[in-house]
C-alpha cells in the first residue's frame, strides 16, 4: 500500500511539477494544480517512511533517502508559508528546489542497489 501510494504520488508530482514550472504563475489553474502538486509531494514524502532505505541504512529501515523526504516536507512548508505571506520570490525558489529534489530522488532510484533499478535490470 505505501509503495503504491508513493509511486503514484511521485509520478503525479513529476509530471504536474513540469507543467507548473512551464505554465503562467499566479493564475487560478496554477493555484489549483499547485495545491494538488503539494499534496502529491507530501504524500510521496510521508509514504516513503514506510519503505526501506536501500543500501545506506541509518536507523532501522530508514536510510539516507529519508532525509530527503524530511527535507521535502520542510521545503513544502516554507514555500507555502512564503506564498501565503506574499513572498513570491521565496516561494518560487523553494518550489523550484523541491522539484529539483524530486528529480534527484527519481534519478537516485535508478542507482545500484535500489529496488527500481533492479526491476529494470539496470545493475
pLDDT per position as a tens digit, 107-121: 877 777 766 667 677
Instruction: Tell me, yes or no, if the pTM score tops 0.75.
Output: yes
Mean pLDDT of the chain: 88
Q: What are the residues facing 62 on neighbouring strands?
A: 59
- How far apart are alpha carbons 28 and 17 in whole angstroms? 16
Give exposure, 4-20, as e/b (b: 16+ Cβ within 10 Å): ebbeebbebbbebbeeb
Q: For residue range 64-83, what is the model confidence (pLDDT) as tens digits?
A: 778 889 999 999 999 999 99
Amino acid at each position: 500500500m505505501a509503495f503504491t501510494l508513493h509511486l503514484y504520488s511521485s509520478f503525479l508530482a513529476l509530471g504536474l511539477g513540469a507543467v507548473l514550472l512551464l505554465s503562467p504563475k499566479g493564475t487560478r489553474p496554477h493555484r489549483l494544480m499547485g495545491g494538488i502538486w503539494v499534496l502529491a509531494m507530501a504524500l510521496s514524502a510521508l509514504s516513503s517512511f514506510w519503505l526501506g532505505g536501500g543500501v545506506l541504512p541509518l536507523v532501522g529501515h530508514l536510510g539516507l533517502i529519508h532525509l530527503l523526504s524530511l527535507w521535502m516536507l520542510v521545503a513544502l512548508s516554507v514555500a507555502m508559508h512564503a506564498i501565503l505571506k506574499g513572498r513570491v520570490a521565496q516561494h518560487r525558489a523553494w518550489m523550484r528546489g523541491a522539484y529539483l529534489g524530486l528529480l534527484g530522488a527519481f534519478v537516485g532510484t535508478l542507482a545500484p542497489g535500489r529496488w527500481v533499478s533492479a526491476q529494470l535490470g539496470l545493475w
